[in-house]
Structures are given as C-alpha cells and as structure tokens.
Amino acid sequence: MSKDTKVKSGPLSHKEIMTILSGLMVGMLLAALDQTIVSTALKTIVVDLHGLNHYTWVVTAYLLTSTASTPLYGKISDLYGRRPVFQFAIITFLIGSFAAGAAQTMNQLIIFRALQGLGAGGLMSLTFVIIGDIVSPRERGRYQGYFGAVWGLSSVAGPLLGGFFSDHHHLLGTAGWRWIFYINLPFGIAALIITSASLHIAKVRREHKIDYLGALLMVTGVSALLLAISVYGPQNGWTDSKTIISFVAAAILTVAFCFQELRAPEPVLPLRLFKDHTVSLTSVMAFIIGAGMFGAIVMMPLYLQLVKGNSATISGLKLIPFMLGIVSMSIFSGKMITKHGHYKRYPIIGLTLMTTGIALMSLLNETTPFWELAIFAILVGAGLGFCMQTIVIALQNAVEFKDMGVATSANTFFRSVGATIGVAIFGTIYANSLGRYLPSGIKALAASKPQALAGFTPALSNQIQGNPALLSKVSPELKATFLHSYVQAFHIVFYAAAPITFVGLLLAFTLRETPLRTGAQHHAAKEEAAGEAMA
C-alpha cells in the first residue's frame, strides 16, 4: 500500500474532517449550482448568441456528460485514489466554466458545457465517496446537515444568481450572463487549494484492468436514453422516429453493457452489487427522490413566474422555505442517526412528508397566498432532508469497503437519471395539459364574451406563453383564462408526481436496518480492504 507522506494511520479528528469537508462542499456546490443557475439565464444567453434553434442543448450537453460520467468516477477513484481524481474533476469543471463564459457562438457554448458536465459528474459523486472513506456510517450523521445545506443553498441561489446576472446586460465590462460561469473560478480554485492541503487518503495499489468496452457501452447507452427523454421526446413528440430510435438504442446498449459487465474481469459497475437488498433498494429510492426533488425545484418557480407574475430573481428568493426544510431536517435526522444508530425511520418520515407536500400543491390556485405555498415547500424540503443523505448512509454501511466508490457513484447516478427523467416527464405532462386546457378555456370565453378576445391571435398566445409579462396587454377576462389554464396544468403535474413519491414510501418500509459501523469498525474495514489489495 502506497500512502502520501501526510496520511494518518488512524481515524481523522473532527477538525481534520471539517477541513476536508469544506473543500468537498465547495466542489459539490459548484456542480449543484450549475444545474439551476444556467436555466434561469438561458433566455438571455440565447438572444445574445443568436442560438434559439439549439438552446436546449446548453442544458442537455451538461446533463449528458455529467450523468454518464458519474459511475465512471467511482470506479476510477477506486483504482487510482480519491484526491487526484477529485482534483481532475475540479480542473475539468473550471476549464469548462472559463471556456463557456468566453464562448462566442452557441456551438462553442454547447461544447464547453459538455466539458463542464464531465467535471461535474466527478464533483457530485466523489464528494459522497470521500466522506464515506473518512467518516464511519454511525458518525456520518453529524456531518449530514452540511450536504443538505449545499443542496438547499443551490436550489435557491441558482435561480437567484441566474436572474441577477441575466438582468444585468453588463457587469465589469462583460455581458452579465457570462458571470454565471466566471463565478465558478474563485470557488473552484479554493476547493483545489483546500483539498491539496487536507485531503490525504491512503491510496491502495491493486492489480487492475480497465473495462474500456463497458465504459463505452455505459456512456453511449445513458446518452441515448437522455437524448430520448430530454431532447427528442419533449421537442418532437414521444412517437417521433428519433425518439423511438433513441429509446431502442438505449435498450440495446444497456443489454450489451450488462453482458459485458458479467464477463469483464474488472467491471465498471459490478452487477453483483445489486444482489444486495440495500444496494438495489436505495438505487430505486435515489431515482424516485431525484425525480421528486428536481420536479419540485422546476415546478415551484414556474408557478410563481406564470401564475403570480414574479420575476426569476423573486421566484428564487421564494424558494427559501424549501431550502429551510432541507437544511433543518438534514441536521436533525443526522444528529438522531449518530445518537441512536437507527436510520430506517427517516426515509419513511421523509417520503411521507414529500408525498403530502406534493399532493397539497394540487390545491394551489390564482389567489393562493405565499404563506400557504411556503408551508407546502417546507414539507417537500423537509422530506428531502430526511431522505437524501440517509439512503447514502444505508448504502455505504451495506457494501464492502473496496466497493465504496463504485456503489456510492452508482447511487448518485440513479438520482441524476431520476432527476432528468422527472423533469422531462413533468414538463411534458404540463405542456400537454396546458395544450388541452388553454384552447378549451379560450373557446369557452369566445362563446360567453367574444369582445374579450379583440386583437387576440394564435401567435400572441404563443408569445404570452414564452413571456408572461405580455398578459398585461390583453383583456382581464383573457388574462384570467390564461392563469386558470396554467393552474389546471400544474394540478395535473402534482397529481402525477404524488403517486411516484408514494411508491418510494412503500419501498422505504422494506429497507432492512443493520447496525451502523462505528469509527473503529470502519477503520478496520478500510485496513482489511487495503490488505486484500496488497495480497
């Protein structure tokens, strides 16, 4: 076993863990923030770079590379060590950020966003892997709230900063939207410095053979799936030839990947892991939680902007109750897990709260006061706070130490795929529902008050849906019809989302609770894995 000169032989102190944690949290914040900040500023970017035809690829390119690379980082870090791979991810993300900020064309921006996503995949997955290395499952709870705080902060700060920068045409002589990428640079450099100084985890040398074919099949299979779900399906329709071909390609590549992993001497994602009840169950739960989390993050600001007429910046600020729910319950459940050693109850409580909050959102209408929405948002956020880190603790407690990296990264991967699919499905449900309710509402208005439609055209209807501020230019009756159609469409989305999280709740009851490894047991497992690798 080869170690850095500063590597300690025993468990780390609380101060040392907090120092490492600060670097990990900054890296994780960069990746989490970028999932929400760009979407808010996308309209401004498209106008500046004259790229309306390719605007969805700005988000999709990032999602493709970040999601597809997530499980690869876990395996590579198992082979080559955590710190160099994590720092590679930071550097890749920073290069992509600087290049994206300097992009002069839409095609350049898409390419550099893909590079950003390649780094983000490592930042998201390796954060959980490294904390699993240095902190035992029993003691992990006391640090759990910090990760919840990062998620909560990114859910609010993303729309807030995206709105702020896009609202300013120029800042310090540069187009305002470019700062959503440049702002990553100082934080990324700080993460590099902190991890260089403090992150000294023993690297275990073992004989290995990288499964390049498995990696290729995984990346292409995931890419085909995400293209079908997030690009071709929403844009061209779910029965379009491109959508169907992408789904079929994803299925064929997934089957080929599974066969390859069964025969590979060093598989990228060992399928034997999923024979473990906890691994397979937490993977499905991560998928459901990801769909619920990003569905809430996308739909709440959309409701505030369309129905309440709030700006992107104000909508971001009004997500603060959601953030408070995540942070407070992450801290509370973490402390209780460390104190009592029981964790099964928290995903059950969390998914109950999540399902309740999402179901209650179906009560939202044009006149709902903000305090009522805030209560629903707190419930959803609290549910996420109880769930997100708890299932990772359960997973890391169940797997052998040698599989820590690949198992944790796989869990992050399933959550990312769930988020992507959730956003696509909920967005499609919303668009289809609005396409049904709005024409019928306008038809009913035309029958009862035809004068309210004076000057109204289908082209104006499309413009209003793209820019809600134009509602001020139509009659009060027509405006009310639009708002009511928006509300009806949101109701259908929440009716569809609540059963999904309810399925997660039913699965949570089947989670098998095993005693959490303590610090001494965790260190012994680490030493045993190192000994096996040497042998």
* Angstrom distance (rounded) from CA 321 to CA 54: 34
Share of the chain above pLDDT 70, in %: 88
Task: Please say whether the beta carbons of 71 and 103 come within 8 A.
Answer: no
- Helix spans in 449-514 (H): 458-466, 476-508
- For residue 249, what are its two tokens? 């390609």
Average pLDDT of the residues in 463-472: 72
The reported pLDDT for the residue numbered 375 is 94
Provide the pLDDT confidence category of residue 282 given band limits of 50, 70 and 90. very high
The reported pLDDT for the residue numbered 20 is 83
Per residue in 152-168, pLDDT tens? 777 777 777 777 777 76
414-441 as b/e: b if 16+ CB within 10 A: bbbbbbbbbbbbbbbbbeebbeebbeeb
Question: Domain limits of the chain?
Answer: 14-210+266-438+487-534, 211-265
Confidence check: pLDDT of 10 > 60: no
The reported pLDDT for the residue numbered 350 is 93
Task: Quickly count: other Cβ atoms within 10 Å of residue 340's Cβ.
Answer: 12
Confidence check: pLDDT of 533 > 60: no
The reported pLDDT for the residue numbered 116 is 92
Provide the pLDDT confidence category of residue 4 given band limits of 50, 70 and 90. very low
Average pLDDT of the residues in 295-303: 77
The tokens 């600001």 sit on which residue? 301
Per residue in 203-249, pLDDT tens? 555 556 677 888 888 888 888 888 888 778 877 788 888 889 999 99
- For residue 312, what are its two tokens? 């992107």
Per residue in 476-526, pLDDT tens? 888 888 888 989 999 999 998 899 999 999 999 999 888 887 655 555 555
Provide the pLDDT confidence category of residue 527 given band limits of 50, 70 and 90. low
Confidence check: pLDDT of 8 > 70: no
Task: Quickly count: other Cβ atoms within 10 Å of residue 533's Cβ.
Answer: 15
DSSP per residue, 218-251: HHHHHHHHHHIIIIIHHHH-TTSHHHHHHHHHHH
DSSP per residue, 453-471: GTT--HHHHHHHHH-GGGG
Q: Tell me which residue of 270, 124, 134, 123 sits closest to 208, measured CA to CA.
A: 270
Task: Please say whether the beta carbons of 301 and 295 come within 8 A.
Answer: no
* Angstrom distance (rounded) from CA 219 to CA 222: 5
Query: Which residue has better confidence, 315 or 278?
Result: 278
Confidence check: pLDDT of 3 > 50: no
Strands 174-175 and 170-171: antiparallel
CA atoms within 13 A on the CB side of 390: 34
Per residue in 114-132, pLDDT tens? 899 899 888 888 888 888 8
CA atoms within 13 A on the CB side of 386: 22
Quick check: helix, strand or coil at residue 170?
Answer: strand
Provide the pLDDT confidence category of residue 1 given band limits of 50, 70 and 90. very low
Query: Which residue has better confidence, 264 or 253?
Result: 253
Task: Please say whether the beta carbons of 516 and 136 come within 8 A.
Answer: yes
- Domain 14-210+266-438+487-534: give its CATH code: 1.20.1250.20
Quick check: helix, strand or coil at residue 2?
Answer: strand
The reported pLDDT for the residue numbered 449 is 83
Q: Tell me which residue of 387, 383, 323 sits closest to 153, measured CA to CA.
A: 323
Average pLDDT of the residues in 333-347: 87
